[in-house]
Structures are given as C-alpha cells and as structure tokens.
Structure 1
Amino acid sequence: MSLDGGWIWGAVALAVGVPILLVVLTEILSALQRRGSPAAGPVRLLRNWIVPVGALFGLLAFALRSDAEHVWTRVVATVLGFLVILLILSAFNVALFGSAKEGSWQQRIPTIFIEIVRLLLVVVGLALLFSWVWNADVGGLIAALGVTSIVIGLALQNAVGGVISGLLLLFEQPFKIGDWLDVGSCEGRVIEVNWRAVHIDTGSGIQIVPNSTLSGASFTNKSQPEGAYWVSADAKFTTDDPPQEVMALLVDIARGLPDRVRTLEASASYRGAGAYSVSIPVTAPAVAGDALSTYLSWLWYAARRRGFALDGDATDPIAEPQRLDEAITALAPSLHLRPEDAEQLRSASRLERYGRGEVIIPAGVVPDELGFVVSGAAVLRVTVDDAVVDVGSVAPGEVVGQTALTRERTQAAAVAADVVTLLVVPLTTLDGLVRRRPRLAAEIGDSLDLKRKASAEALAAAGIDSARLFER
C-alpha cells in the first residue's frame, strides 16, 4: 500500500464527497416520496447501493495495487456495474411508464413484453460488463447459449409454441386489463395478463386461462367497442295483449334501471305470436347480469299491474277480493272510514305491488291517485344534477302521492325499498272522502308538510339548496 499524493487526495475526496452526496440524495428522496413520484425508486437505489459500492470501489482502486489483491477490485466493479445496469433500467422505466396516462400506448403494452426487454438488456449489459472487467470471451458464451437454446427449443417445442402463441396474442392486444371476456368456459373481467396466462375474475373466483388457449380459440371481448353494453331479453305474452302497449311497457321499465346509460334509450320489438325482445344499454358488461335480473323481476310486477299475461299467466294473488277487504280494514282507522265509506272505497280502489327498486311515483308529475302503503316500505328520493339524496321514507299506513290533493308536482320520487303493496285510491274517490272527513284532509296536509320539511333538512345536510327543486 502506497501513500502517494494521488491516493491521499482521492481518499479525501471520497471522505468528504460521499457523505455530502448521501445527504443531498436523502433530501431529494424525501421530496419525491412526499409527492408520490415514481422517480423515488431509482433515487433510493442510487443512495442505498450505488453510492456506497462506488465509494468502496474507489477506495479499492486507490488502495489495492498488487496483483494478488486486484481480484477484489474486479468483484466490486462487477457488483457496481450490475447496480448501474439496474439503475439505468429503472430510470428508463420511470421515464417511459411512470406517468403513463389512461389509454396511452405505454399503458397498452403488455407487462410480458416489458419484462422480456428488461431481461434482454440485463443479459447484454452483464455480457459487456464481464467482457470489460474480466476480459471474458463473451462471443463464445453467446454461441454456446445459442446452440443450447436450439436444443432446448426442439425438446420443448410444444410448450414453447404455446408461449409464443400467447405472446403473439398479447402483441395483437385484442383485450386489456379491465375488459370483460367470454371465453366459452368462463366469463368475467380481466385482472391480470402475464407471460403464461390471463387471469379472469368470474365473480366466484379467479379463472386462469393459458394464453395459448386464447390464441387458438375464439372469444368475445364484451368491452369492445367502447361505450354502452347492450343486454337483451326476450319476453312472451299472449296474443290478446296489445303489442304497442306491451312494447311501451317494456321500454318504460328499462328507463328505471339504475345501471342504464342515461343518454341512450332502450328499444323493444314485436316478433309475432306474442313474442317480444328488448335491448337495454347498461354501463358495463359486469352489471349486465344484475341489470337483467332486476329488469325481469320488475316486468313481472308491472305486467300484473297492467293486466298483461306475461308468459301466458295474468293471474295476480293480490287481486283477490279478500286481500282488498283486508287492506281496507287495516287502513280504516287511519282513514276514519265509516261502513258506507269502506264500501265505496272497495268498489273504486285496487291493490298493486312493486318490486324492490321500482319507482312507484316519479318526480315532477301531478299524481291522479294516492297510494296507501299496506305492507313494505318506500323511500323518497331526490335527484339534483348528478346527486341522488334519500330525503325520507314511507312506512305502512302512510301515503305516497299526497300532492294529488293539492294538484302540485311531486318533488321527490317514491321508490320501493322492498316489495311494496299499495292500496291505490283514485283522486275522485278521495276527494269525496275528504269533503266528508275534513280531519282526513288535515292529516294528509300535515303529512305533506312534514315530508317537505324533512326533505329540505336532508338536502341541506347534503349541501343542496332545496329551493332548486321548486324552480324546475
């Protein structure tokens, strides 16, 4: 070991420069971490590994001069070179993919291709590193690896062929993460694509589908083209049901679906012999099953309210006279009914049922009937711009559509919270009851005032001015 001037000045530079550099890198790393920047990864690698190993290499390069100890300098140089390769790859990864926007070409590149390119660059970098540091015959090594890869490829041509087919499939990119695929054996959302297989979330588990299977078979990407996904349903009525009225009912039910695309309208067609089909635009394939289930259940209730024979059956258990008598008897105290009033109500009223989530009375209409809740419950729901706020509830014995008495538009929609049975009373019949029973009119008016007050309080809590409802 020699203590010439060059070694001393080099040691001084390392002793002073390395701590300063580490302090600067620490501050930079803290700032990047606070901003959540992807550049924090390369800076962390530089601070924790490359600078210390570089300092060690510098010390060895100055201090170890004999041939017997020169091998340690090469070992450290090899480690330092490998770390620099990782730093360069990490920096390029951050520059190209760290801030990739949704739908950009960087995001569309499959992960497998990025991993393959990264592996190739690491192999090439290591080859050059061994050539420079150890004077290795890299050309001979590459030739040997080439011959070996040919032999292995011939032995594993079936397996390799499947992998290559999968890579070609990924290169074509007929789907991306988040798309909804129907591959025949399963259907679901793509959550991961790697070098070997596609991971599909079916809702009941993760289905692993090999890339080679997808490349050799047909499948359906239900997320393409972008936009609304159309779900279709078939319905069968009798030939006695008026086709135009049935088609209007099919479209009207679709309008209330929560997953329907609001800017598009459903369509219905008549195929003859009582057969109909309806197409409904929903927001995504993932919600198609639930939307179709909800639609068909609503159709069952709506068809019976209209007297249509869905699937050839128009019977409705609540249409039995006994059920109507029981409902009127249960509501008689709250309506202050006398025997003659009950008889009049029995001849003019009817029972209706609504499925969970159905709109009983929409907002912005002047009702011509009142509904007294016999069983179940409803919520009063206000929609202002894109905000949906539940502003009240309707329990058994209470009324929906009170504004029919004042001839005002409804400000909130009444939506069935579960299966709701209503005693529906025409406005003309109710007017007669109110004239004979002023107390009933006062109670309905008080109920309407309470609902409006609760609605205003709920909207205020949501930060919405209730006066906007009356401006519409």
Structure 2
Amino acid sequence: MTELWQDPWFTWTLGVAIGLPVLLVLFTEMQNSLARRGSAFVRPVTLIRNYILPLGALLVLLVKGSEVSIEATPVRIVATILGFIVVVLLLSSLSTTLFHGAPEGSWRERIPTIFLDVARFALIAVGLAMILSYIWDTNIGGLFTALGVTSIVLGLALQNSLGQVISGLFLLFEQPFQLGDWLDLPSVRGRVVEVNWRATHIDTSSGVQIMPNSMLATSTFTNLSRPAGSHTIEVTTSFGVDDPPDTVCAMLTRAASTLPYLQLGGRPISFTAGGGGFCTAIPLRSPADDASTRAQFLRWIWYASRRENLHLDSADDNFSTPERIESALRIVAPALRLGESDKEQLSGRVRVVRYGGDETIQFAGQVPARMTFVLKGRVRLSITSDDGTVRQVRTLNEGDFLGQTTLTREPAITTASAVGEVTALEIDRKHVAELVVHKPELLQDIGRVIDERRDEARGAVAAIDHG
C-alpha cells in the first residue's frame, strides 16, 4: 500500500479525481451567477467549464496518469483541441473585456469591426502557428517567410486600392458622423443611412448616393447634425420699402414661432437685411425638416402679411372688397342679429381675411381683440393639458365664431387652428360692444356660447386626465 502512494501516477490521478469535480462545481456556480446578471462573461466561463477543464484533465491523465508519451498521436490530438479552444477563449475574453459595454463615444466604441476581424485573424494565426510548432514540431519559419513575401508583392500591386481602404478605415475610426446624421458635401447633401468599411450611403432627395470613404477622408464636409440641437435655417424675404421694419420682423417671428418642427425651447429671430430684405433664423430639430418648414413658413407669411397690410414681394392685397364684405355680413347676420341698418353701419368697419392651412388663428391664454366669424373652411379648437397632450374640443364651420370673450377680456381657453384655407370676417372689440348696447339678446347669446365652450374645454381636459 505504501508503494501505491509513492507512485507518481497516483498523485496526478487523485488530483484530477478531486480537483475536476470541485472546479466544475465552482465554475457552474459562477456561470449561473453571471447568467442571472446578464453578464457578457458567461461565454468565456462556459468555455472553461465545458471544454478546457475536461480536456485539461484528460491530457493530465494521459501524460501523467497513464504515462503516455507526449509525442503519441492521441496526446497531440487532445493537446491540439485544447490549444484551439484556448485561442477561442482568448478571443472571447478580449472582445468581452475591451469592447462589450464600451462607453459611448470612446475609442473602444468607435473602432471599426474590420479592425476587430483583422485582430482576431492575427490572434488565430499566431495560435495555430504555436500549436503546429510546439505540439506537432512543424517548422513554420518557411511558412511565415512565404507569407511575408506574398504580402509585400500584394501590397505593391494594390497600394492605391489599399491606401483608399486604409484611409476609409481611419475615417470610420474617427467617426465624424453616425447613422442618421445629415452631411453637406460639395457634391451631395443628405442623411447617412449606412456606413461600412468601404463606402457611406447617403439618402438624398433623388435617391441613395454611394460615397467611397476614401473620398470623404480627403474632402471637407459639414455635419449638420452636430452638435445636436444646433441646426438652423435662414429664410430670406422681401417687403415693400414703406413697410415698418419692426412690424415686419414681429410678423415674421410670430409666424415662425408656431412652426411644428422647432427645436424644443428654440426661438426664431428676424432681422432686416437691407434693401427691403429680411432674414428669419429658424432653429429646427433636424435637417430633415428643412424643406417642409421653409415651405410652410413662406405659405403662412403670405397670408399673415396680407392680414397685417404688409407688402410681401411688394404685392398689394385687395381681397377685402365691398362685395365680399356684403356677402360676409349676410352670413353672420343670424348670429349677430343684424338688421339692414346694422349691415350698412358695419360694412365700413369690418374686413374679410384669409388664413393658411394649419395656421393658428387664436392662441390659448390670449385675450381676443376681436370676434372672428368663419365664412369658408373649418377651424379646429383644441386644448393642451399640463403634460403636453393635445385634444380636439370641437370644429367650427361656416357661420360659427370665436373670440367670444373679447368683451369680457377673458383669455381664450382653446387654441384655434385653420383646417385648410379659411376665409373669415373680423369685427373689432369696440364695434361688437356697440352692437350689444342695443341688442341685449346678443349679449345673452355670447354669454351662452362662452359657457358652452368652457364646459366643452373642461370635458376635454377631464377626458385627457382619465385617458
């Protein structure tokens, strides 16, 4: 029995018999713990538990326990498999340690995937070379010499192409743009939809243009999306030389302030550019909104300038003609209880105006300076809750009116927006006051409308709260 303890194979066999189960239990617990936390290190630990530990134990039993020669084919096969799995473990551990969960914007997060592929290939090549050299006693010096000569020949033959590829890869590593960014280049302007190691795909208004990365690396371009929230467009307009500049700037800024694609907290600015020209700077959320915002702004100021008797492009507005006013008064006569004398009296005190589609006619919280009657088109009344939720209250049609609180000087509860082009009749506060002095029933009608609209607004707010 004493001789058994003294045999070398017994010590190794006993170590494997005790050590392997213990290590398997430890690595199993470690694997389960990492899996519960969702850690990326589960894969390396799994490789050690399922493959490296059993193969290592088998190799020890063959060489030390059974005293099989290390030059025997079974030993070399087991050692080769074990060495290959160790290389895979190193690759997995390196990728997990350096690049998994890399901070956004860091060099680890920006490094192109092709660089990782090249590094993996190099590590695999070195690992296979060591396996061939140390396990199979292969002379790999000639192989590396042949590969080196071949690489030099290929490099000289493809130096121009490889130079473009390398410059493109360094552009990717620097990452001056990302997917979704808008680029302004000398030859193209659009949004980046795909980036690979060879080219960048840019979505323009006429299709997707493929731009080689080597061209981007050697040219100058503007990233319109960086820094975030800094994109601004400038819209130039021209007005009559007799139009007051302050009035024009106020109208332009007011129209731009209601555009739907403004940056959160952004404030448009309008200023004179000389010679009857004006410039409006509009901060936008994205360059993707440039065209639609520009078109909507120019459409809105066409209507707004005519309502405020300004001369956009030196044009006059003759829309509020006596014929239109007479026709408008016939439409609003039932709502205002107008007789023929009332119509004649009001004909020179009112005017017919137009609003563009989606243009704001009345703001919530604004004290109306006049009553506005819908002659053509529709007007949408909506209310916005404290959390920003918008809910429609009602739609006004021909003959309906808004600005009913102009006499009571109460702020409007709802926001009124044009649904398509709207033609309306406007009556200033003082002329409405003159009417109600002689028509107590009209004052009662207006009071009833105020109560109805207030109840509808409260119902809309309650629906949002329970929504």
Calculate the TM-score normalised by the size of structure 2: 0.83
Could you give the per-residue CA deviations for residues 186-238 of structure 1, whole angstroms, max 9, x where no partner exists? 32333443321223344775443210121232322223455422211111223
Corresponding position: 1:54 with 2:48: no
Residues 1:194 and 1:262: Cα distance change in structure 2 (over 3 Å)? closer
Tell me, yes or no, if the aligned pair for 1:267 and 1:278 is still in contact at 8 Å.
yes
Paired letter, 2:42: V
In the alignment, is the contact (CA less than 8 A) between 1:238 and 1:312 conserved in 2? yes
Q: Residue type of the partner of 1:311? A: D
- CA gap of 1:352–1:77, structure 2 versus 1, over 3 A, is same
Q: Report the equivalent of 1:468.
A: none
Number of residue-to-residue matches in the alignment: 451
Q: Secondary structure in 2 aligned to 1:378?
A: strand
Q: Does 1:92 align with 2:91?
A: no
Distance 1:379 1:126, change over 3 A: farther
Spell out the pairing of 1:139-178 with structure 2 (5 A cutoff).
Answer: 139-178=141-180
Give 1:390's aligned amino acid: R
The answer to whether the Cα contact below 8 Å between 1:335 and 1:440 also exists between their aligned partners in 2 is yes
Secondary structure in 2 aligned to 1:72? Answer: helix
**Partner of residue 256, structure 1:** 258
Q: How far apart are the structure 2 equivalents of 1:350 and 1:392?
A: 27
Q: Alpha-carbon deviations, 1:45-68, whole Å to 9, x = none?
A: 542x44322255235425654613
* SS, match of residue 348 in structure 1: coil
Whole-Å Cα distance in 1 between the matches of residues 116 and 447 of structure 2?
69
**Is the 8 Å Cα contact of residues 254 and 280 (structure 1) preserved in structure 2?**
yes
> Identity of paired residues, percent?
38
Q: CA-to-partner distance for each residue in 1:77-125, whole Å, 9 max, x for gaps?
A: 23312321222123213xx540524x45544555555555455445445
Which residue is 1:297 aligned to? 299
Give the direction of change, closer, same or farther, for the CA distance of 1:403–1:128 in structure 2 (3 Å limit): farther
- RMSD of aligned residue pairs (Cα, Å): 3.4
Residue from 65, 71, 79 that aligns with 1:74: 79
Q: Give unpaired runs (5+ residues) of structure 1.
A: 34-38, 465-472
SS in structure 2 opposite 1:402?
coil
Local SS of the residue matching 2:334: helix
453-462 or 304-313, larger mean C-alpha shift: 453-462
Q: Are 2:373 and 1:372 equivalent residues in the alignment?
A: yes
Q: Give the Cα separation in 2 of the matches to 1:339 and 1:126.
A: 104
CA 419–116 in structure 1, closer or farther in 2 if over 3 Å, else same: farther
SS at match of 1:289: helix
Partner of 2:88: 83
CA distance in 1, matches of 2:417, 2:258: 10
Mapped partners of 2:262, 2:213: distance in 1:
33
Partners in 2 of 1:14 and 1:191 — Cα distance? 54
The equivalent of 1:31 in structure 2 is 36
Q: CA shift at 1:302, angstroms?
A: 0.8
Find the residue that maps to 1:51 and give its secondary structure: helix
2:271: which partner in 1? 269
State the distance in 2 between where 1:111 and 1:444 align: 70
Q: Which residue in the other structure is 2:42 paired with?
A: 43
User: 1:326 — aligned with what?
Assistant: 327
Q: 1:84 to 1:115 in 2, by over 3 A?
A: same
8 Å CA contact retained: 1:369, 1:401? yes
Counterpart in the other structure of 1:434: 436
Give the Cα–Cα distance (whole angstroms) in 1 for the partners of residues 226 and 212 of structure 2. Answer: 21
Q: Which has the larger radius of gyration?
A: 2
| 1:410 corresponds to which of 405, 409, 412 | 412
**TM-score, normalised to structure 1's length?**
0.82
Q: Deviations over 1:289-348 (max 9, x none)?
A: 3222221111111112122232233246x5344443333333333333333333334332
Question: In the alignment, which residue of structure 1 is the partner of 2:65?
Answer: none
CA contact (8 A) 1:269 1:276 kept: yes
Aligned with 1:314: secondary structure?
Answer: coil
Cα distance in 2 for partners of 1:120, 1:393 equals: 70
